[in-house]
A and B are shown apart, each in its own frame.
Chain A
Amino acid sequence: MTAPGGGALATRGGATVRRMKWSLELSLGNSSRSRGDRQSKDGDVMYPVGYSDKPVPDTSVQEADRNLVEKRCWDVALGPLKQIPMNLFIMYMSGNTISIFPIMMVCMMAWRPIQALMSMSATFKLLESSSQQWLQGLVYLIGNLLGSALAVYKCQSMGLLPTHSSDWLAFIEPPQRLEIMGGGMVM
């Protein structure tokens, strides 16, 4: 694709410029420009209007790109599932003792899926371009749920879940006594 003629086209650094794909600079010799401009000023002198010394990329969407996007989206969707074997291994290695490292591992394992589930909408946006967006979203969700289930299982096997009656023992109120009683040896 060729750039339209009738103006100096320049690709420049700088945040304000990067937003536009191209721009025409009509006021030549404006000295209130940055250093980069000044350099291109030399170029302006040398090259005709519309000439760029860099090749313009080909941005047309091709069939191969679409496949790539799809693949990339599947990668994102399957990410949590792929982590599960790894997590299982870590779980096995860390054991069931309660000490600082296993606790940190469990916390991480539990926190990551939860974090992922919380930022679900952002992930969906990422998958927007895919045709199988819903399926991928579902797989991603299932993967994360499995991850958190694994974390819960780990907590359970470590004894961190209040599932036994002993865990609620501290909250039992002492029973109210119905009778008042006293006395003792005859004085």
Chain B
Amino acid sequence: MAWLVVRLAISVSLFYTASAVFEDQVGKFDWRQQFIGKVRFALFDTHSQASKKLLVATDKNVFASLNSRTGDLFWRHVDKTGPEGHIDALLMYGQDAVVVAGNGRLLRSWETTVGGLKWETVLDTGSFQAAALVGVQDFVKYVAVLKKSAISLHDLSSGSQIWVENLPDSDTVQYQTIYSGGNGLVFVFGVVPNSHIVIVEYKIEDGEIMNKKSVEAAWMSSLESSCTVISSGILLCVDQITQSLYTLLLQSAEQTEMRQIHLQTLDLEVASGFQPVLTSTQPNPAQPPLSEFFLQLSPDHHILLQLKDGLIVPLRDFNPSYLAAFATSGERTVAAVMSPKNDTACSINLFSADTGRRHLDTTIIYHMDPNGGKPNRLYVHAFLKKDDSVGYRVMVQTEDLTLTFLQQPGRVVWMREEALADVVTMEMIDLPFTGTQAELEGEFGKKADGLLPMVLKRLSSQFILLQAWLAHLWKLFYDARKPRSSVKNEVNIDTLSRDEFNLQKMMVMVTASGKLFGIDSKSGTILWKQYLENIEPNSVFKLIVQRTTAHFPHPPQCTLLIKNKDTGLGNLYVFNPIFGKKSQISVPALPRPVLQTLLLPVIDQDYAKVLLLIDDQYKVTTFPSTKNILQQLQDTASSIFFYLVDSSQGKLSGFRLRKDLSTELIWEVVIPTEVQKIVAVKGKRANEHVHSQGRVMGDRSVLYKYLNPNLLAVITESTDTHHERSFVGIFLIDGVTGRIVHEAVQRKAKGPVHFVHSENWVVYVYWNSKFRRNEFSVLELFEGAELYNSTVFSSLDRPHPPQVLQQSYIFPAPISTLEATLTEKGITSRHLLVGLPSGNILSLPKMFLDPRRPEVVSEQSREENLIPYAPEMPIRDEWFINYNQTVSRVRGIHTAPSGLESTCLVVAYGLDIYQTRVFPSKQFDVLKDDYDYVLISSVLFGLFFATMISKRLAEVKLLNRAWR
């Protein structure tokens, strides 16, 4: 019968390999969130009063338009990653947004309402310095782009190049900024550090050099950070060392020296070690800038100054103040300044730029998130109200990349968590049971201490149950009095509880900026967030789940190891993954660089798994390190092994733990770095279950799988990158003994290699440089027709090498990432989830990647339901699990089992986050969504009543017959 079941299951799975969703299932159990990254440029569309557009360009090379009322994306353009797509400048005039991208390689103009490209021009090579809109007679017609050695002027409406001129002496002078005041001239400023400034004037019409002068400025090292142009053509510079401001009239022939104004004369002083910052504003590119400007003297001190008749007059001193920004609406320019109000809030006020007077009733209170970072950028959108006063909204960006959009008097209109555009690692944690379930769980989970304590425990838990029930009743009563519309079914941290099938989980996401998020997997709501300050930008994170929710009175516990790449030192951050609170547990100090961690299945008396941290002297630190743990470790030390892979030395080494928590080297494999380098190594996932220990052959015998839990797949790439000689190597190494179980070399192949190692197989993808295509290769390991030892597995006792089967296939698309589905018991067939650069996620049945696929179909292979070998791997549109919800720049896919055997939870992250469920063998354990309950139950009831009635009728008839 088992045979029959297996055959039925296989034939069913053959018929239903498609995993597409139906139209009515869209958005039912999946969601996508789109992000943009850290904002570098943000411009509000001010040309019309009702405009809701906010244009942003980010460090992720994304250029997007946000709806300023809701924070949603109108449109988004994702450029290439890396310097090729880097957005250098963003300028906006009217309906057009001009973007310089790729270090001055491309000049593009975008239509801002729908995000269509108007024109694109390829610029000459040369590193980009600055770009500016150039106006003539109150009309902005051109855009000027300054490169290291040339300046070019382009028409704003067509992108055609008007002229391009080489800059004089560009090998000695560093040209850095550009200015145009609408008077038919373009000024280019260059600097020879610690010597002089060079100013070149170009005529707009034909690019003729009108004037060129150099001015002594021995104190100056960089123009860009310390100079700006104010008023009608006055160059203003600030220097920290001489504590002075310098001015220079651009269009005067007689002034050959910068005029120095000591800050002391203004009663000002720059904080030591702080590079002062000048901020001016030019509301219209066709007109000269205003004569007012901000001078930032220290991180929390701004001052608004005005240049009047050659004199600098302070208008208003803002001390303390974090951020200041100008904004213009119509003819009026205002300045918004953010000042601290108390420990948790800041106030933003509006001041008129020309007088420095405060506008009445313009305060916005900005409440700082206690778990977030400090604000570091302020973008102001000013508009004229009906009564001709100036209203404004602000967007605040914080260190933890939160964008908050506020309006008066401090209402948060929307919020975006842009840190999520760069998720590094994540875990999915089971939600806790509801109070009732948890109590029962707790009662049986605790250790029994005798009869009386058990009775007391029972009574207390019953009492808690009663309390919970009463509270529930009270809540029902309370809610019933409220109008129906106000009772919302929102997910929040208090109502969080596990659902029937454990489909809803907590996604703990670690982002590169050091912000942690707890996201509800069902809705995508952010339930908690925690910003870890002082995280170096290139830190390495490793997230470890030490205790799940299964041990009720003890809260779940996650540990995040943060390792600074430069110093090598790491520290541990222990938190509760459900509530995001930092745990009070004392964390071991890690004085030496941590090389690796190892989570043991050994648990302490509080049910926390033990984490071993291996330092650079191969000594082990345990966390938690109670007496109980040390005792347990002493007993099991001889069976604890760990391996380290040093890619730079091409060395794999295996260690065994000693009783005194030191280690001994037991094996070492050296892969010479001159020939090939180790690029990746993967073991098997710890939470993976394999239900079937073998495969059924056509003649009904069994081919047993080689399920070595200690097996490592090591991928190497050749150092020689020539397409004829390059190769990709794969080594299967036993992590306990260091024995090389199998090795394979793929000649004329190149990385990047993506691979999955699971059960008894390894699937890897590489680029075939001979045929110029992507290829999949699968390795499967079998023990043969007999199991060597069916009760225990020990790597130290494996006399027979496994049989290895391999097959390769052509995959007709490039690949971004690869992962395999995972289910609770491992009965469901496996699929591979392939993230494609197009943003689609392909669910590829593992059945297609089976080295036993025959070239010639035989009766036996048909009996086994093996698909005949075909070199081309199909991609079917219905295999895309995310239909049109593409995930930009997908970087990783996380799979987690749910309580249902048929269902696997999938989270794809990259620039976007997409969560869904997949059913590799269809939903064999749940009724379908469109199951006709009404029909079935009405038929059932109908039949039931029909039976009752006919029974009664039959009785009457029998009785009548008896009377006859």
Contacts and interface: CB of A to CB of B under 8 A. Distances in A.
Contacts of A175: 707, 789-793
A178 B645 contact: no
B345 to A, nearest CB: 39
A182 to B, nearest CB: 4
Contacts of B946: none
Contacts of B791: 173, 175-176
Interface in B775-797: 787, 789-796
B43 interface: no
Contacts of A159: 3-4, 700
Interface stretch (B174-182, B311-319, B687-695): B687-695
B639 interface: yes
A177 B791 CA distance: 9
Interface in B786-833: 787, 789-796
Interface stretch (A55-63, A82-90, A146-154, A161-169): A161-169
Given A98-B4, A175-B789, A176-B793, A166 B645 contact: no
A187 interface: yes
Nearest to B679: A185
A177 B792 CA distance: 6
Contacts of B595: 186-187
A179 B681 contact: no
Contacts of B692: 169-170
B589 to A, nearest CB: 18
A176 B791 CA distance: 6
Given A164-B701, A172-B693, A172-B790, A182 B2 contact: no
Contact of B736 (A164, A181, A184, A185): A181
Interface of B: 1-7, 540, 542, 561, 563, 570, 594-602, 614, 636, 639-647, 678, 680-681, 683, 689-694, 696-697, 700-702, 707, 709-710, 735-736, 787, 789-796
A6 interface: no
Contacts of A173: 790-791
A13 interface: no
A14 interface: no
Contacts of A167: 1-3, 700
Contact of A187 (B6, B594, B636): B594
B36 to A, nearest CB: 30
B696 A169 contact: yes
Contact of B540 (A171, A180, A187): A187
A187 B710 contact: no
Contacts of B645: 183-186
Contacts of B701: 164-166
A177 B3 CA distance: 28
Contact of A170 (B2, B709, B736): B2
A168 B598 CA distance: 36
A180 B639 contact: yes
B759 to A, nearest CB: 11
A178 B693 contact: no
29 contacts: A98-B4, A164-B3, A166-B3, A166-B700, A167-B1, A167-B2, A169-B702, A174-B690, A175-B789, A175-B792, A176-B791, A176-B793, A177-B709, A178-B639, A178-B796, A179-B640, A179-B710, A180-B639, A181-B641, A181-B710, A182-B599, A183-B596, A183-B614, A184-B596, A184-B644, A184-B681, A185-B596, A185-B678, A186-B595
Contacts of B636: 180
Contacts of A160: 1, 3-4
Nearest to A159: B3
A142 to B, nearest CB: 28
B643 A181 contact: yes
B643 A187 contact: no
A165 B702 contact: yes
Contacts of A183: 596, 598, 614, 642-645, 683, 735
A140 to B, nearest CB: 30
B793 A178 contact: yes
Contacts of A166: 2-3, 6, 694, 696-697, 700-702
Nearest to A155: B1
Nearest to A164: B700
Given A162-B1, A187-B595, A176 B641 contact: no
A180 B790 contact: no
Contact of A179 (B598, B690, B697, B795): B795
A173 B689 CA distance: 11
A186 B644 contact: yes
Contacts of A165: 701-702
A181 B683 contact: yes
B323 to A, nearest CB: 37
A181 B700 CA distance: 35
A185 B2 CA distance: 43
Contacts of B689: 174
Interface in A119-140: none
A89 to B, nearest CB: 25
A162 B643 contact: no
Given A98-B4, A162-B3, A185-B645, A180 B600 contact: yes
A175 B697 CA distance: 22
B600 to A, nearest CB: 6
Contacts of B643: 181-184
Nearest to B568: A187
A92 B711 CA distance: 51
A180 B641 contact: yes
A182 B642 contact: yes
Contacts of B787: 172
A135 to B, nearest CB: 38
A160 B816 CA distance: 46
Contacts of A176: 791-793
A96 to B, nearest CB: 12
A162 B2 contact: yes
Interface centre among B597, B693, B701, by most A CB within 10 Å?
Answer: B693
